Structure 1
């Protein structure tokens, strides 16, 4: 049986993916992992490749969802994105890339915050 926090995480990622697709992005991959990092969602937005971090917080006691994307977390996401780009080969080689965040305060499709360009790889 799956732990409750994992079920909530999957539900949050599904809600975020649906939100992005409603806004014209096309989902390319989910849960891309490499040693030391993970990207929750990878999507296409026109010609750009978008690496998306999904954050679910049930309360703001520790700063809310946005505050949980620390510099260390950003480095791990960037590492996984680089791994995916290398693994994907030439198909995505010269496309512009962006790092977005989808922030959820609870599993409510009316309370989704999408931050385009939440951080960069520099």
Structure 2
């Protein structure tokens, strides 16, 4: 990935970069950032945002190419189950029972000019 900054030493740094790009993209679409990279024993939530009164939990995936389905096909059934459990944990920890929740997916694809695909209600 020659176009990526040489300072990135691992995929975690690359992931954080694309999560930040996704957050900026969603902010431009009217969402408000709440948190990034929430970790618990069930998994990780990449982005937590709000759209009005709706809590939006966002999974972000980046792929360089469209081979093997690209970023749009990177949200596996196993990942969806993990995402569900992690959201449930967050909701319990933050006392959000009764709030309106939504799980979204942002697929970022392409090298030099990333293309964003925002899919709402993936669970």
Structure 1 residue 109 displacement after superposition: 6.2
1:31–1:109 CA distance, 2 compared to 1 (3 A): farther
Question: What is the aligned counterpart of 2:100 among 72, 96, 99?
Answer: 96
TM-score under structure 1 length normalisation: 0.87
Question: What is the aligned counterpart of 2:18 among 1, 12, 16?
Answer: 12
Q: 1:59-74 counterparts in 2 under 5 A? A: 59-74=65-80
Structure 1 residue 108 displacement after superposition: 5.5
- Stretches of structure 2 that go unaligned for 5 or more consecutive residues are 1-6
What secondary structure is seen at the aligned counterpart in 1 of 2:68?
coil
Whether 1:87 and 2:75 are equivalent positions in the alignment is: no
1:108–1:41 CA distance, 2 compared to 1 (3 A): farther
- Stretches of structure 1 that go unaligned for 5 or more consecutive residues are none
1:11–1:107 CA distance, 2 compared to 1 (3 A): farther
Structure 1 residue 5 displacement after superposition: 1.6
TM-score under structure 2 length normalisation: 0.86
Bigger Cα displacement from structure 2, 6-15 vs 103-112: 103-112
1:10–1:29 CA distance, 2 compared to 1 (3 A): same
In 1: Cα distance, 2:52 partner to 2:112 partner? 27
CA contact under 8 A between 1:55 and 1:104: conserved in structure 2? yes
In 1: Cα distance, 2:75 partner to 2:85 partner? 15
Whether 1:23 and 2:41 are equivalent positions in the alignment is: no
